[in-house]
Structure 1
Amino acid sequence: MQPMVESDIRASFGNASDTELAQLSLPHDFALTEWLYLDAFAWRDPRIAARGYLVTELGGEPTGVVLRAAGANGSRHRAAICNLCHTQQPGDQVVLFSARRAGPAGDRGDSVGTYMCSDLACQETVRLGRPAAPSEVLPSVHELERIEGLARRTKAFVVDVLGGA
């Protein structure tokens, strides 16, 4: 991703109300973000527990959606899979997030939902691999496939929320 500042992020949301934009809080470590290694930027709002944000690039422009986390799913003892990064985790670490559709559909209450890592750290999760041997300079084919799959599914989710934008 191209480096972004707060104003870029705030301007990127296609399904946000003025109130949601006014309430948006960036993560505490925002200034330390390593943009070069990201295909998307996602975080839970540090002040509003049920809110999250997901920003990716579509057509070279930052494009984001506001997310709402569902309540606890009660599956602490079962495994669940994030639909974005395809990582299996304990059930309490995967949450249903929904996003109000943009435009008239969203005004009618239409939304799109999917299960995601509860901390929205999919970008980091797919990049956590086994420690590389000294001779392994590049990520493995499997790691690259996971990263590309996450990028593809993230963009598809954002496009679905924004109605094909």
Structure 2
Amino acid sequence: MRSLTERDIRASFVNCSKGEAKRLAVPRDLGERPWGDLDFLGWRDPGAPDRSYLVTERDDELVGVTLRFPSVKRGLLHRSLCSLCLTTHPGSGVSLMTARKAGAAGREGNSVGLYMCTDLACSLYIRGKKTPESGGRFEETLTQDEQIARTVGNLSSFLDKLYV
């Protein structure tokens, strides 16, 4: 993924108003992000523990999505699987992230959801740059490039649902 500026990020959101995009918390460490290892930029809102954001490149355009998830803590014996990168996590390491749909459907309250790594670090898990706490990745016969393509495809399918 190419490096992004705050202006790029704020202009990319498709499921919130321009005013909401202007007020949301953008990461302060954009210059330190490992852009070459990212398939999308994902972060949690430090001021709103039930909100996260995701920005990705799609058809040479940026698409930003606001996400909500429950702040319920699960026990460490509970394990979940991320639907994007297929990484398993204990406890609340995977959350059902819901996104308001774009356009009129979203204004009517319609949303779509997907189980994702709560920290949105899927790209780093696939590349072995980060390991999940007491979790893991399945031993796969797919190459790393194939796993990356699968993750990008899973994200693309989720984003498609925002417009239906």
TM over 0.5, shorter chain? yes
Q: So what's the TM-score if we normalise by structure 1?
A: 0.84
Displacement of 1:82 in angstroms is 0.5
SS at 2:92 equivalent = helix
Count of aligned positions: 154
Aligned: 1:34 with 2:46: no
Q: Indicate if the aligned counterparts of 1:65 and 1:161 stay in contact, CA closer than 8 A.
A: no
Q: 1:89-139, CA deviations, whole angstroms, 9 ceiling, x for partnerless residues?
A: 11321111100001111111100011111111111111117xxxxxxxxxx
Question: What residue is the counterpart of 1:142 in the other structure?
Answer: 143
Aligned: 1:13 with 2:13: yes
Return the alpha-carbon distance in structure 2 between the equivalents of residues 73 and 149 of structure 1: 29
Q: So what's the TM-score if we normalise by structure 2?
A: 0.84
SS at 2:157 equivalent = helix
Displacement of 1:146 in angstroms is 1.5
Aligned positions of 1:55-134 closer than 5 A: 55-72=55-72, 74-128=74-128
Distance 1:82 1:120, change over 3 A: same
Return the alpha-carbon distance in structure 1 between the equivalents of residues 75 and 108 of structure 2: 31
Computing the radius of gyration over CA atoms, which structure comes out larger, 1 or 2? 1
Percent identical pairs in the alignment equals: 40
Question: What residue is the counterpart of 2:157 in the other structure?
Answer: 156
Q: Indicate if the aligned counterparts of 2:37 and 2:124 stay in contact, CA closer than 8 A.
A: no
Displacement of 1:141 in angstroms is 5.2
Displacement of 1:78 in angstroms is 1.7
**Structure 2: gaps (5+ residues):** 130-140
Question: What residue is the counterpart of 1:46 in the other structure?
Answer: 46
SS at 2:46 equivalent = coil
After TM superposition, the structure 1 stretch with the greater mean CA deviation from structure 2, 73-82 or 91-100, is 73-82
Return the alpha-carbon distance in structure 2 between the equivalents of residues 119 and 151 of structure 1: 17
SS at 2:116 equivalent = strand
Displacement of 1:22 in angstroms is 2.9
Return the alpha-carbon distance in structure 1 between the equivalents of residues 112 and 8 of structure 2: 24
